[in-house]
């Protein structure tokens, strides 16, 4: 019993600092110097997409970001993207997730994905990109 409380505390802290992942690719702002890291959760999608540029600036005390997504594939891709914002301590700013935005990325095209921090507390961000199924789904009783 005396080991249970410290173990639960460690698990709780680990859960608070973990960042959500999605099936796709994502870029994360690692520090104030805007060093980007590319994370690929879906290798097939990772071969079809590349994040070629990330630009940030301060606009009215809010972090403004533009991420350039490039298609490495000859056909159109049906995607969704979402920004998540973090405070100075690396915690997700609750209640301020941007919704998943739909995007059609044509073959070998580039598109800029804009994001604006919801509050001035947001100092870092991550961007997740995932595929959208184009197959119709049937629901059976």
Enumerate residues 6+ apart whose C-beta is below 8 A from 51.
25, 27, 36, 38, 67, 68, 69, 70, 127
The first and second tokens of residue 18, run together, are: 């973990």
The C-alpha atoms of residue 108 and residue 90 are separated, in whole angstroms, by: 34
pTM exceeding the 0.85 threshold for the entire prediction: no
pLDDT in tens, 47-63: 999 888 889 999 999 99
Please choose, from the candidates 116, 111, 107, the residue with its C-alpha nearest in 3D space to the C-alpha of residue 129. 111
pLDDT one-digit tens code per residue, 18-51: 444 455 666 665 544 333 455 668 889 989 998 8
CB 64 within 8 A of CB 29: no
| Nearest CA among 66, 62, 68, 69 for reference residue 93 | 62
């Amino acid at each position: 019993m005396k080991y249970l409380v410290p173990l639960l505390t460690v698990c709780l802290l680990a859960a608070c600092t973990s960042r959500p992942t999605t099936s796709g690719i994502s870029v994360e702002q690692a520090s104030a110097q805007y060093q980007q890291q590319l994370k690929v959760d879906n290798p097939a999608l990772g071969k079809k997409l590349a994040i070629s540029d990330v630009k940030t600036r301060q606009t009215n005390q809010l972090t403004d970001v533009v991420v350039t997504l490039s298609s490495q594939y000859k056909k159109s891709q049906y995607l969704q993207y979402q920004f998540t914002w973090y405070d100075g301590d690396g915690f997700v700013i609750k209640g301020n997730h941007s919704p998943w935005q739909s995007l059609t990325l044509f073959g070998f095209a580039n598109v800029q994905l804009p994001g604006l921090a919801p509050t001035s507390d947001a100092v870092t961000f991550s961007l997740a990109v995932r595929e959208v199924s184009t197959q119709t789904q049937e629901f059976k009783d």
